């Protein structure tokens, strides 16, 4: 089997596994503004017939919403928290050090920079047999660990200079950095006019080679155009 075929099978396996996980754990709703660029999702799960919402960064659950509030269901509250987190990461607040516990309107909250992510209300603290401050701290710690954890995702490969999509690549690295990788740029060169070399670079956008640090490409597959 060629390396190209092996890489293609690896990517297919990753995709199938993701579908199986989604089917087993319940509906999954991506909340990224641009499909395929975000690792933040909200999903709804039913526990003993009761709807709950979860916010995930990669495959890590960072917070679980167990009740409705403010006119929103538990799942809708989770979606709101996921959207806030997604925006904070897009604004560059993607380091574990950016995540903190603060007080807002007399309640303990989790912040990413100046962005409110979620409120640790009294009801959830009671359910978890803890205090609002301790619950907010636990959620903060969950998020900080998720940001530092190595993860992977699939990005479209584009031919640098033309922006034409030519395949898919699996990239790996810390969640805080992988989140920033929107595409993998493909650059071609030759060695002594004999050997063709292809270089793959995780990048933030089509408009130039703005490399994402600490992120590597470990598999790719071509698409015939």
pLDDT of 89 reads 85
Q: CB of 54 within 8 A of CB of 78?
A: yes
Mean pLDDT of 122-149: 93
Instruction: State which of 148, 180, 210 marks the end of a domain.
Output: 148
Q: CB of 42 within 8 A of CB of 78?
A: yes
pLDDT higher than threshold 50 for residue 16: no
pLDDT of 162 reads 59
Q: Does residue 26 belong to any structural domain of this protein?
A: no
pLDDT of 85 reads 93
Q: How many domains does the chain have?
A: 2
Per-chain mean pLDDT for the chain:
78
Band of pLDDT at residue 83, cut at 50, 70 and 90:
very high
d(CA 128, CA 103): 19
Residue 224 parent element (H or E): none
Output the CA–CA distances (angstroms, integers) from residue 113 to 97, 102, 139, 171, in the order listed: 9, 11, 15, 26
Region of poorest pLDDT, from 99-103, 192-196, 221-225:
221-225
Mean pLDDT of 125-136: 94
pLDDT of 214 reads 82
Same domain, 94 and 171: no
Same domain, 69 and 126: yes
Higher pLDDT, 45 or 16: 45
Supply the range of the domain harboring residue 56: 31-148
pLDDT of 140 reads 96
d(CA 134, CA 19): 35
Band of pLDDT at residue 163, cut at 50, 70 and 90:
low
pLDDT higher than threshold 90 for residue 102: yes
Higher pLDDT, 141 or 10: 141
Same domain, 119 and 184: no
Quick one: tokens of 158? Answer: 């584009």
Q: Which residue reads 């584009």 in tokens? A: 158
Same domain, 78 and 164: no
Same domain, 118 and 154: no
pLDDT of 153 reads 83
Same domain, 92 and 156: no
- Edge to edge, what strands does the sheet with 195-203 contain? 195-203, 183-191, 150-159, 164-174, 216-222
Mean pLDDT of 119-141: 94
Output the CA–CA distances (angstroms, integers) from residue 24 to 1, 39, 55, 155, in the order listed: 32, 19, 16, 24
pLDDT higher than threshold 70 for residue 31: no
Q: Does residue 127 belong to any structural domain of this protein?
A: yes
d(CA 98, CA 114): 9
Mean pLDDT of 194-223: 77
């Amino acid at each position: 089997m060629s390396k190209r075929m092996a890489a293609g099978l690896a990517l297919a396996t990753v995709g199938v596994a993701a579908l199986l996980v989604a089917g087993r754990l319940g509906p999954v709703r991506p909340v990224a503004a641009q499909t395929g660029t975000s690792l933040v999702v909200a999903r709804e799960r039913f526990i003993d017939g009761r709807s709950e919402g979860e916010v995930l960064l990669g495959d890590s659950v960072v917070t679980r919403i167990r009740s409705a509030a403010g006119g929103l269901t538990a799942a809708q509250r989770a979606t709101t928290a996921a959207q806030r987190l997604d925006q904070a990461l897009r604004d560059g607040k993607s380091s574990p050090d950016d995540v903190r516990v603060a007080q807002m309107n007399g309640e303990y909250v989790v912040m990413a920079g100046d962005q409110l992510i979620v409120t640790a209300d009294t009801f959830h603290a009671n359910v978890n047999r803890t205090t609002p401050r301790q619950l907010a701290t636990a959620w903060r710690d969950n998020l900080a660990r998720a940001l530092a954890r190595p993860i992977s995702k699939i990005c479209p490969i584009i031919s640098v200079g033309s922006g034409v999509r030519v395949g898919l690549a699996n990239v790996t690295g810390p969640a805080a950095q992988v989140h920033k990788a929107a595409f993998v740029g493909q650059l071609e060169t030759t060695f002594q006019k004999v050997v063709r070399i292809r270089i793959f670079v995780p990048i933030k956008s089509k408009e130039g080679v703005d490399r994402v640090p600490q992120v590597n490409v470990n598999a790719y597959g071509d698409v015939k155009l």
